[in-house]
Amino acid sequence: MTSRILLRSVTLLILTGLLPLGADASSLQEKIQNSREKLEHLHENLGQIQAHLNAGQKTQAELRDEIKMLDLKIATTRKKLADIQAQQQQTQIKLNELKQKITALQAELVQQKEILGKQLRGAYMLGGTTPLAVWLQTEKPGELGRMSVYYASLAKARSTLIVKTQNTAAQIVQTQHQVELREAGLVKLATQIQAQENTLNQQRQQHATLENQLTDRIAKDKAKIAELQANANILNGLVSRLVVQFRHQEAVAEAARRKAAAEAAARAAAQARAAAEARAAQQRRLAAEKRAEQRAAAVQKAEEQQRAEQVQRAAENAAPPTTEVHPPHITTVPQKPVPAAVSPSIPPPPAPRPAPSPSISPPSTPIIGHGRYPAPVNGPITARYGSPRVTGGLDWQGITFQAAQGTPVRAIAPGMVLYAGSLRGYGQIVIVQIGHSLLSIYGHLGSTDAHVGEQIAAGHQVGTVGSGGELGNDGLYFEIRNAGHPVNPLDYIHN
């Protein structure tokens, strides 16, 4: 319940407070920084909850592998049980045959004993008569040979019957021993069957337990898939809003730059017109002064010439004196030199002030085609772009690098940090704008070393590798997005 409340709180903060578009926020950096401060105090508890959810739980694949191995063991046990039961049936058949053989031998032995008893009784009835006595007592000597042959045949048959009886008794004893061995074997087989049945029952119980675990795991995985989908939607929404904000701010900055350039050009044109008018006025003033000086000099020269002519006429009209009279010395007033028109030094118009730079400048390295950037960390790739997740559901939208906890994570290209903080399902995350429509995303970080609005260079450390989480092992999750859509990072980096 605590994890659900925290996850809902983080989702609500991201959806409603991460990038507010109100007029009170002065810049993208302030908007993201405010939301980042709200998210930081939830990250520690969220990381602990995610670690608790992921620790000690078997995946569906592991459970299915165990069930598959158990199925093989159950099949093997059933085969052994069937073989033992077949062997038991064969042994029972052999035992029945041996018992039938014993019964037949015992009947034959009884018959042989009866025949032998009759022969013994017949021999006893004859008493101690020898073949010689029989020959001496016979009245027909011709029958002597026939009687001798008869007695010899009878003795041989008796001996043969005795031997056969003895063999039959020995076969009965041997067969009874075989029966005992077969019966002991049947007891052993019955014990083995019981053991195999017990093993099979245990395996069936274990199989049922694993099936229940798998059912529970599938239910949990469905919930996890839904959570992953929600996390992906949150990240997609965040990236889309960041792209829109960045492009809007670029447009605002471009408009401000153009407006400032236009104002600077207008000021420069006004200053140029004012300077030209000042130069024209000064030239007119200097020309007027020169003309006034020339007129004054001409008037003065005419007056002096007129006075000289008057003196000359007066001298000519006067009587000649007794003494030598010297004409008066007329001193000519030197003409004031007219200064040449000098073009005044007019200071050049001030250079137009540069347009104020926008608060967010575009990246210094534009993206042209698919560049070849270095990998953010050194390590093997454990999950490739587009490959299915172990838990099912969404395919990987990026790649994961296996690396030890605390390994530095470096930017693949220069750019501006758009976001640095916690994001549900991705732990600590840093998003860098490395082109007009290209984003690099570094997820599952243990710590972040970048700040929103900061311009970073290629190779700048943006954070360190975190531990565990959805990745299972320590590592880095890395994405590249073009125009807000996930693309294969291997088309942009070399690992």
What would the 3-class secondary structure string for 293-312 be?
HHHHHHHHHHHHHHHHHHHH
Q: Measured between alpha carbons, how far is residue 326 from residues 309, 321, 334, 476 in Å? A: 16, 10, 23, 121
**Burial status of residue 208 (CB atoms within 10 A of its CB: 0-12, 13-18, 19 or more):** exposed
pLDDT reported for residue 23: 42
Beta bridge partners of 408: 464
| Spans of the chain, pLDDT less than 50 | 2-3, 5-6, 10, 12-25, 56, 319-369
371-495 adopts what CATH topology? Glucose Permease (Domain IIA) (2.70.70)
Domain with CATH 2.70.70.10 in the chain: 371-495
Tokens of 432: 């860098």
Q: Which pair of tokens denotes residue 434? A: 């490395």
Burial string for 300-323 (b: 16+ CB within 10 Å, else e) reads eeeeeeeeeeeeeeeeeeeeeeee
- Residue 78 main-chain phi, psi, to 5 deg: -65, -40
| CATH code for the structural domain at 61-219 | 1.10.287.1490
Distant-in-sequence, close-in-space partners of 493: CB < 8 Å, separation ≥ 6: 372, 373, 374, 375, 376, 412, 480
Determine the Cα–Cα distance for residues 35 and 24; give it in Å rounded to an integer.
14
Taking residue 324's Cβ as centre, other Cβ atoms within 10 Å add up to 6
Query: At which residue do the structure tokens 């007009």 appear?
Result: 436
DSSP states along 6-31? HHHHHHHHHHHHSS---TT--SHHHH
pLDDT at 412: 95
- Helix/strand/coil for 130: coil
Domain with CATH 1.10.287.1490 in the chain: 61-219
pTM of the predicted model, to two decimals? 0.40
pLDDT at residue 304, rounded to an integer: 74
In this prediction, residue 327 carries a pLDDT of 39
